Chains A and B, each alone.
Chain A
């Protein structure tokens, strides 16, 4: 349940953003990382960005998700 997923901020107005993770788009909030900018990659947990991540680290996680087919089916999409 504490799992967070990296996603890129593709729209940002105030603390509301649209983030893209491997083509999935979510409405998220950046309230907890006030310095987040457009194009930053952030870790998203339960609808909130919790930290900024570098491209390399994000890539590792995305690759892993790609590898584990059905990951999102067996684990809870919402929060973990």
Chain B
């Protein structure tokens, strides 16, 4: 790593695109051990954080309907909208689920309500939603639908690199997303932008080896895709999972927090399955919404600022009373900085 910094003679910026890496890097105290000129940027790798404010507001509007039950993974309940959060509403119609299958069960048990599954997550999580749609279609379950905010990682990386002023030298790529998409998925990024893409697991040694591999590639000016997590990640990924995603979903140009509209970056249900699409069922249109006043999550997600640069960090915004999703989610950069990195703030 030192050698890479010396050879390049400038700051090296490595972006991790995985909330799990962000947490691992902080929890294991990896940052302070790196050379001073090597900087890790937390990118748009936390699915809760990248979900646009417009989506959150629609989710909260649906939660206010008496004829609906919201089924959600725990991560989403504390994300604030312009009018409180799911948790603050403390209404009995918000149910936490451990899997999409629990949401299907809720629909079966509550035939007089419509169960709306808050479907967020990257490629790791999307197949579970696709299976739920398959089950719902087979069972003719009319009172089940999803609010799809599922995101695709590659279009986001592409969007970041196509920005003129980006400062990203390489990507540390997510392990468990790559289990599904496979390493081949990153090839276009390496070919187009000549940036190393190194897949790593989340254990501390794997993260460090991943960073070292990136430094090696940068020193040799030889960017490529490499998996440092070969036990789980193959070149082609999980093709069964992809097939099932592609059966039910299609990509469209959806909004991401901080990154705006990303071509092909979000998934929605195909026309044949439109009856399971909550947006269509309730007549919502996707309208992007500004981050809540003063919250700079958008800039944090693009690697433009560190959480500590946000005026509300640690003062108005803490994990107990979060202003933005990057402080809500345990994998959000602001939360990781707060929990593990506060001493760093004073040094920088």
Contact = CB atoms under 8 A, between A and B. Distances in A.
A binds B: yes
A50 B27 contact: no
Given A33-B238, A54-B231, A76-B74, A47 B99 contact: yes
A2 B18 contact: yes
A46 interface: yes
Contacts of A53: 231-232
Contacts of A13: none
Nearest to B19: A1
A32 B240 contact: yes
A80 B23 CA distance: 11
Nearest to A31: B131
Contact of B124 (A45, A68, A76): A45
A29 interface: yes
A79 B176 contact: no
A3 interface: yes
Interface in B126-146: 127-128, 131
A29 B179 CA distance: 17
A57 B201 CA distance: 10
A43 B100 contact: no
B73 A29 contact: no
B231 A2 contact: no
A63 to B, nearest CB: 9
B47 interface: yes
A36 to B, nearest CB: 11
A80 B328 CA distance: 14
Contacts of B46: 1
Nearest to B20: A3
B19 A29 contact: no
A60 B75 CA distance: 26
Nearest to B180: A50
Contacts of A60: 203
A18 to B, nearest CB: 14
Contact count band on B: 35 or more
Contact of B75 (A29, A68, A78): A78
A64 interface: yes
B122 interface: yes
A66 interface: no
A48 B203 contact: no
Nearest to A75: B330
A2 B73 CA distance: 12
Interface in B175-232: 176-177, 179-180, 202-203, 231-232
A61 interface: yes
A67 to B, nearest CB: 10
Contacts of B265: none
Contacts of A34: 240
Given A43-B179, A60-B203, A48 B232 contact: no
B101 interface: yes
A46 B128 contact: yes
Nearest to B230: A57
B167 to A, nearest CB: 25
Nearest to B242: A32
Contacts of B177: 2
A48 B238 CA distance: 13
Nearest to A56: B231
Nearest to B203: A64
A32 B237 CA distance: 11
Contacts of A46: 73, 98-100, 121, 124-125, 128
Nearest to B178: A2
Interface in A1-59: 1-4, 29, 31-34, 43, 45-48, 50-51, 53-54, 56-57
Given A1-B46, A1-B75, A2-B121, 8 more contacts: A2-B176, A45-B176, A46-B73, A47-B101, A53-B232, A75-B23, A79-B73, A80-B330
Interface of B: 18-20, 23, 27, 45-48, 73-75, 96-102, 120-122, 124-125, 127-128, 131, 174, 176-177, 179-180, 202-203, 231-232, 238, 240-241, 244, 329-331, 339
